[in-house]
Amino acid sequence: MITYVKDNFGREITYLRISVTQRCNLNCVYCGKEDCAKKAEELLPEEYYKIAKAFAKCGIKKVRITGGEPLVRFDIAEIVRLIRSIPEIETVALTTNGVYLKKYAKELKTAGLDSVNISLDSTDGSTYRHLTGADVLQRVMEGIDEAENAELTPIKLNAVLMKGVNSDGAGELIKLAKERKIDVRFIELMPFSNEGEDADLLVTGDEILEEFQFLEYTKSEGTAKYYAAEGFMGRVGLISPVTHKFCNECNRVRLLCDGKVKPCLGYDAAYDILPFINDEEKLVSEIEKIILKKPAGHNFEKGNTTHGLNRTGG
């Protein structure tokens, strides 16, 4: 039996993000500066399955697999297949930097993956290299093509703009939404330090609308507001966690790669449920307790950090 679990603020929790690794093959400038090569404990596919099954009993209907970079795991398709086999889970999506997507797109589709979000902060080779530390833009573009071929749709590209770094490339990214049936979404830079430099780099959703005045609001889906324009095949999305907080509508929790559950991205607090992995009833009751600990909202706007968004799962 499914119990739809509400948190203390009446929000129904239906969306689980699972970070399957802390490892990443890129080193994006805004993602913190911890050692990417450091290997944290990662659960086996069957362990994520058992935990996701318990979450499904608590009302989770959508799972997004993320990281670190989820495609650095050789068993990623098996993780997708197992989670997709849970009847209550209606959608399984994945967020990736796209570097290994050409290799995995078809296998992931066969495993039951519904859609992918691909991070792409610039279409310019040298800016991309500067932002990620790797000369792999071409591979990512081929990964996007392959995701389209495999019908991992809707394909969404996620870009984080930073003033004076890649903000002048916004028009080129928007062009992708014009020419292809792809949604290009701009996510506001969430702070990664307390020193305030991120505030100077922030490009807000409102600034993007000011610059690209031909964009017309169509609808909101989850955390994104979507805009269309004449002759566009895809859409432009704005996700503004810093300037337009959407915590009152937050329906998600995050499972970290080592079996801890984080009720909110904005805080360090994470609760270990691995000890209960072989007792579904106990897992369900622990999950319910954790959901009740979900805070009212993040406080990024006060300069609070993302507390290792990349390393513990984006």
- Can residue 31 be called a binding residue for ligand SAM (CB under 6 A)? yes
CA dihedral 207, 98, 225, 64 (to 10 degrees): -140
Output the residue with the shortest Cβ distance to ligand SAM.
Answer: 314
Laid out side by side, the sheet with 156-160 consists of 216-221, 224-228, 236-239, 183-187, 156-160, 115-119, 91-96, 62-66, 15-19, 252-255, 260-262, 271-272
- Can residue 158 be called a binding residue for ligand SAM (CB under 6 A)? yes
At its nearest, how many Å lie between ligand SAM and the CB of residue 87?
Answer: 27
Burial label, 275 (beta-carbon count in 10 A; 0-12, 13-18, 19+): exposed
**Part of the chain binding ligand SAM (CB under 6 A), chosen from 23-31, 73-81, 148-156, 285-293:** 23-31
- Can residue 314 be called a binding residue for ligand SAM (CB under 6 A)? yes
Residues 121, 98, 152, 60, CA torsion sign: negative
- Can residue 306 be called a binding residue for ligand SAM (CB under 6 A)? yes
Beta strands in the chain (DSSP E): 15-19, 62-66, 91-96, 115-119, 156-160, 183-187, 216-221, 224-228, 236-239, 252-255, 260-262, 271-272
Token pair of 11 as six digits: 């929000």
- Can residue 67 be called a binding residue for ligand SAM (CB under 6 A)? yes
Q: Quick one: which of 22, 95, 166, 312 contacts ligand SAM (CB under 6 A)?
A: 95
Q: Which residues, numbered 161-220, are part of the site for ligand SAM (CB under 6 A)?
A: 187, 189-190, 192
Q: Quick one: which of 13, 15, 20, 30 contacts ligand SAM (CB under 6 A)?
A: 30
Q: Quick one: which of 92, 136, 160, 161 contacts ligand SAM (CB under 6 A)?
A: 160
- CB nearer to ligand SAM: give 5 or 72: 72
- Can residue 242 be called a binding residue for ligand SAM (CB under 6 A)? no
At its nearest, how many Å lie between ligand SAM and the CB of residue 72?
Answer: 9
Burial label, 133 (beta-carbon count in 10 A; 0-12, 13-18, 19+): middle
Q: Quick one: which of 20, 24, 111, 173 contacts ligand SAM (CB under 6 A)?
A: 24
Q: What's the maximum distance between 2 C-alpha atoms anywhere in the chain?
A: 55
- Can residue 310 be called a binding residue for ligand SAM (CB under 6 A)? yes
Q: Quick one: which of 21, 22, 97, 122 contacts ligand SAM (CB under 6 A)?
A: 97
At its nearest, how many Å lie between ligand SAM and the CB of residue 124?
Answer: 17
Burial label, 222 (beta-carbon count in 10 A; 0-12, 13-18, 19+): middle
The answer to whether 80 and 112 have CB atoms below 8 angstroms apart is yes
**Token pair 């499972």: residue:** 255
At its nearest, how many Å lie between ligand SAM and the CB of residue 295?
Answer: 19
Q: Quick one: which of 69, 183, 286, 288 contacts ligand SAM (CB under 6 A)?
A: 69
Contacting residues toward ligand SAM, per CB under 6 A: 24, 30-31, 66-67, 69, 95-97, 119, 158, 160, 187, 189-190, 192, 306, 309-310, 314
